[in-house]
Amino acid sequence: MKNKWIIFLLLFSISACNSSEAKSFASSTPLIPTSSPFIRFGPPPTPTLTLSATITLTPTFTPYTDNPFSIVFIRNGNLWIANIGQKVFERQLTFEPPEMRVISFDVSPDEARIAYIPYQLEPLNSLVKSVDISTGETRVILGRDDPFSETRVIWLDNTKIAYKNQDSLALGFVTQRVKNITTYIVYDVERQKEVQVTKYDYLVPSPNKQIWLGCFYGAEGCGHYILQYAGSSKQYKLERTMELGWFLGWSPDNRFLLFNTVTSPDVCMSQLVLIDTKTFEEKLITPKDKNVWSASFLPAGNVVIYKQSQILNLGLCTSGKVEYGLLNLDNLESKKIPVELQDEAWDFSWTPDGKRLVFFGAGSGGREHQVWSMNLDGSDLKPILASVEEFKILSHVP
């Protein structure tokens, strides 16, 4: 059993970080992005589709007719996998006891296994486990009979994971039994051995797993981000002229980092900034008079979807209508998606072929999250999965 009283808010705590001094960047050969053509749009659809909380939806959704894809997700505290096509096939992957809910998971790069953390709040208990996607076989990786509380897990490559024992928010709640609030620890799953203790409270590897983006917790978030080549001790602190807010993602070609900016202490307005990992050049990619908080890369790498809102009163931090658009990073030309999703849409992702958007939308039950999908021009908006707490899309159908 583990220590008592860690706030369940740890579910959402990976985005806050602060600064630390770092050394020179490793001299490895920088990665060169592969070019991919920008998507050409036809005329926008005539109707403007609306997703609102007043729509009554049933668990039986309209058949999905585009290229099938697979999605791993949390439902009722356990991991599931669904193959989305004209028929939706769902399969439960984990069968944890009711008091142990999955709070963190990540799919291995080869998409053969999922590392996950089942967590019990009181009495506090947690483990790092893995499940085979094909067979459903599970095993405990670590955490049994230790005094720590495992809270986050990610894959660094097909044999190594990185996990956090406790979040800094637990500092005021731990007992003398736990003396250290740890950062990410690298663990070799095959050798069953801890191989490195990092200094990062937040860690995101690049898509090819060759570069790490890390940072350190602080009261005002992540003031300084660090780049580090995997397996190297050398680090590079991102020097910049703009105050970075949240990290939004790596480009699929591993070349660019996408952030939003924080322009005031009240965090009332934000823009998108792109950082080149080869030259470390910073580039604002959205206008200063627009409020853009979130964005996501298309799998091809040169297009992002962004969420933009009007500023009604900057002093009172009040926003107006929310719009969505696609931004071509080659020429910074944007294309509005003619669909109204209001504030009920979040966590935008993509199907593996890059043809459709996949995102969360509030269901008719209010707090019941549904996964929705639509074409890039805003057409064919439809729900595809119900009762989903968190999801990741696989690159292939197992």
Q: What is the DSSP string of 82-135?
A: EEESSS-EEEE-----TT-EEEEEEE-TTSSEEEEEEEETTTTEE-EEEEETTT
Chain segment 66-98, per-residue pLDDT in tens: 899 999 999 999 999 999 998 899 999 999 999
Whether residue 398 is contained in a domain is answered as no
The average pLDDT across 111-136 equals 93
Least confident span in 21-30, 136-145, 147-156, 330-339:
21-30
Domain harbouring 163, CATH code = 2.120.10.30
Mean pLDDT (whole number) for 117-135: 91
Q: Residue 57 domain-assigned? A: yes
Whether 2 maps to a domain, the answer reads: no
Q: Where does the pLDDT of residue 174 fall: very low under 50, low under 70, confident under 90, or very high at 90 and above?
A: very low
Name the pTM for this structure: 0.79
Q: Is residue 318 part of a domain?
A: yes
Beta-bridge partner residues of 327: 304, 334
Token pair of 359, please?
A: 């995102």
Q: What integer pLDDT is reported at residue 316 of this predicted model?
A: 59
Rounded Cα–Cα distance for residues 189 and 162 (Å): 10
Position 172 scores a pLDDT of: 43
Chain-centroid distance of CA 269 in Å reads 21
The pLDDT of residue 73: 96
Residue 232, Cα to own-chain centre: how many angstroms?
25
- Where is average pLDDT lowest: 118-127, 170-179, 218-227, 383-392? 170-179
Mean pLDDT of 335-340: 87
Q: CB-based contacts of 170: which residues, under 8 Å, 6+ apart?
A: 6, 7, 10, 149, 181
Identify the residue with better confidence: 38 or 288: 288
Q: Which of 57-61, 232-236, 241-245 is predicted with the least confidence, judged by mean pLDDT?
A: 57-61
Tokens representing residue 348 in the block: 């935008």
Q: Which range, 87-101, 158-172, 283-297, 336-350, is most confident?
A: 87-101
Q: Which residue did the predictor score with more confidence, 2 or 264? A: 264
Which one has a higher pLDDT value, 384 or 59?
384
Q: Which residue has the higher pLDDT, 179 or 342?
A: 342
Residue 33 has pLDDT above 80, yes or no: no
List the domain range (segments joined by +) for residue 90: 8-393
Q: How many domains does one find in the chain?
A: 1
Cβ contact 78:57 at 8 Å: no
Assigned domain for 1 exists: no
Q: Considering the domain boundaries, does residue 104 fall inside one?
A: yes
Lowest-pLDDT range of 92-96, 133-137, 334-338: 334-338
**Within-domain flag for 227:** yes
Q: What is the pLDDT of residue 266?
A: 60
In a domain, 110, yes or no: yes
Report the pLDDT averaged over residues 131-159: 92
Residue linked to tokens 């890059």: 354
